[in-house]
Structure 1
């Protein structure tokens, strides 16, 4: 099965994060496993893997599709990961990653040019139910939202523009300890982010909370962040709201295209 996904995987470059990474790779090569695709996009596919010898899912695989004239996203991931580590940012660490030249893989018509393998984690990613304190979705978990915004503020102070700040992109092992999982699109600056960059980054979070019916989500996010960042003024809310509207329209358009 592993060879079917990656026909020439042995010619790949590898980077191991955990002490048992090579052992897991050997297991993937030699043991049968079930595989389920949970997400498809033009650039990659996400899979859940479960060994027949185990009772529950074992691994999460993000496999990258070769496309002409596109950058190597796995190498970019590794560079971003190392930079974030040097900045003492909490991350969900993979087991290992591997890659080949995406252009050569494209010419050879290989399905993928590499991938990132994570341990399968069932609990910890923020979900809609985490945003509320009861099953009726009436009492908002303000403490969690405030702590998440504070986490973003600390990233902004370090010059990190996260880009995809939807709440469900964060891993949380407590209400005060967040970790980053999706590193696509992250940008680094040599100084703390400007006001405009901060508002852009926050707008995706506000949109995702608003989408889940959090009352006055954009005002809530703006007001909490304003307490942390003194340069924000009430007049900046209009620009922030424009960013949120733009993100919302983009999501609505994407959903409409999927339905059609």
Structure 2
């Protein structure tokens, strides 16, 4: 009866496809979130459901999509499904919440000192090499590192201060000798990484992956620099005080993270 009512009251009910759901979500996003969604909906695993009317979707159909895709497919398909439910474009869940396949992330690890040295020794581009060095010494997220400016550096107090793009939280780190060497090699005003600051986060990640592949280094990403930094830091402070990442993801890698003022650049590689 409910379906009959919707057929009469909403002419789009029977024709609305999963592509329409994707378009609706993307249209409502801005900035980096929009870019992330635009990239996500291009997932080849979604090809089989793009033109499929939502009301004709069976659980087996979505499970087949999940089987074909990866972790990101699972995450974004579930969001598409829940969005359609929230908009009343679905009368009931296609896959009940408890039956939705669990997302299983690949194990994450820190980049080792040897791996880092191999990467920077092979890197011919001065700016990119300094960028990887800055990631190693600061443990900052790649977007925060790429966005650093000379104005973030206070040589009188020997501190590097910036606000995290993701959370807006303030981070302040003491500049040790090794980090100083890196910073002194960068522009004295404006962006420290004038070219990389204009590159998309995904492109910086891809470039790093290419470097790792060329050196046969597996299992690391730019985020691995954050794990490596945290593993070098000692102290009984809470995990989320600096990283601001979910404990479920970071707890296995971090035993202690300081809030500020850590002499991070004095740890030996």
TM-score normalised per structure 1 = 0.27
Larger relative helix fraction: 2
Larger relative strand fraction: 1
Structure showing greater radius of gyration is: 2
Structure number with the bigger relative contact order (C-alpha 8 A, sep ≥ 6) is 2
TM-score normalised per structure 2 = 0.26
